[in-house]
Chains A and B, each alone.
Chain A
Amino acid sequence: MNVLWFTVLICVCSLVAGTLGALTGLGGGVVIVPLLVLVFKVNIHYAAGASLISVIATSSGAAAAYVKEGYSNVRIGMFLEVATTLGALFGAYLVALVSPSAIAIIFGLVLLFSAYLSLRRLPDIHDTRPPDRLATRLRLNGDYPTPEGLTTYNVRRVPIGFLVCNCAGILSGLLGIGSGALKVLGMDQAMEIPFKVSTATSNFMIGVTAAASAGIYFHRGYVDPSLAMPVMLGVLAGAFIGARILPGAGTKYLRILFSAAIVVLGIEMLVKGLTGKL
């Protein structure tokens, strides 16, 4: 196989991953690394570099659409970005200190965890308790459009959400993923932010988080242009197609299917990591 075919094949696979990621809301980035490592036998550092780049592309592209709809909350995003960028910086430094096998094991666990998260969606919590003091001081409370008109929400447990986002940042820098699922978990479940606001804001944060590790990735040579090119263009085109096909229509089975694929990739990554065959 020569470079031309290799590039075309990677571009097509990234396109499929991007489309499925956008349709299911899971993001394409999480399957890119295992795909490159397990199928195309790419070194895990190059794979993480290419994936990180594609994550920035889709996040910025999607955020451009989300901001207009009024779901994302800029203050929540900026406040939590302090946690995620510091984490991402730390995570990117960690890459050189942790063995590739250990990275593969962590990756496998993250894949299994995100498949688990995607299949169980918890209901939004509505309550009439008085607003949290710290959240009020940081002006995090806001409103968002619902079928019944603008609905206000109160943010709670700010420190826990901050900590979860910090971990999400570390994983993003270490693995080259967006770790949107973990960010949403922190906002949605810990901070009790409505799911739609959480996902929109998380999408906003992913690009900035990834940019914090990207500088170090460039310096250390993890970003190979010839590999990142087809991955970025493929995932971006896929995300665009996915957003056009109307998310929500018949995605339930697709979601289960995609989650099953993630589980398989997760187990494969775990096995590779544990047997040291990387």
Chain B
Amino acid sequence: MDSIISVLLRTGVILSSIVVLIGGILYLVEYGRLVPGYHVFQGEPASLNGFRGIMRGILSWHGRNWIQFGLVMLVATPVARVAFCVFAFFEERDWTYVALTLLVLSVLLFSFIGR
């Protein structure tokens, strides 16, 4: 069980880093010469906050959307780990921990789906 978790985490981190790196290069080619402005918080456009918007930008090779997709993959890595633990505890017939893990998983999913 431990080695599967280890592989899962490593794969998630490496894959997402690669996607973020690709996005970073695309972004710098696109906007590298502009002047940065992060002093005022404006929030992000809808195309970067929701899953559908991010995917649409991926297809048209927008750097910022690629980065955001990589970041979502990264955040999904620990979520996948928790989901895997549900099965691992189920195999062990440890019902207390199946319930606790499902509780953690639902908090995580609520954060992504709920507002």
- A interface residues, Cβ below 8 angstroms from B: 1-4, 6-7, 40-46, 53, 56-57, 59-61, 63-65, 67-68, 70, 74-75, 78-79, 81-82, 85-86, 89, 92, 138-139, 207-208, 210-216, 218-221, 223-230, 232-233, 236
Contact = CB atoms under 8 A, between A and B. Distances in A.
Nearest to A47: B38
Contacts of A63: 5, 9
B104 A78 contact: yes
10 contacts: A3-B34, A3-B36, A42-B39, A53-B71, A64-B10, A74-B2, A79-B100, A213-B111, A226-B36, A228-B71
Contact of B111 (A53, A82, A89, A221): A89
Interface residues of B, number: 63
Contacts of A42: 38-39
Interface of B: 1-3, 5-7, 9-10, 12-13, 16-17, 20-21, 23-24, 27-28, 31-36, 38-44, 48-49, 63-65, 67-68, 71-72, 74-79, 81-82, 85, 94, 96-97, 100-101, 103-104, 107-108, 110-113, 115
Contacts of A226: 27, 31, 36, 64, 67
Given A1-B36, A86-B107, A226-B64, A57 B31 contact: no
A243 to B, nearest CB: 13
B67 A208 contact: no
A4 B27 CA distance: 9
A85 B71 contact: no
B49 A229 contact: no
B23 to A, nearest CB: 7
A74 B40 CA distance: 41
Contact of A64 (B13, B31, B35, B67): B13
Contacts of B17: 57, 232-233, 236
A21 to B, nearest CB: 16
A214 B107 CA distance: 12
Contacts of B100: 78-79, 82
Contacts of A41: 38-39
A64 B78 CA distance: 11
A229 B33 contact: no
Contact of B32 (A3, A44, A79, A92): A3
A61 B27 contact: no
A278 to B, nearest CB: 10
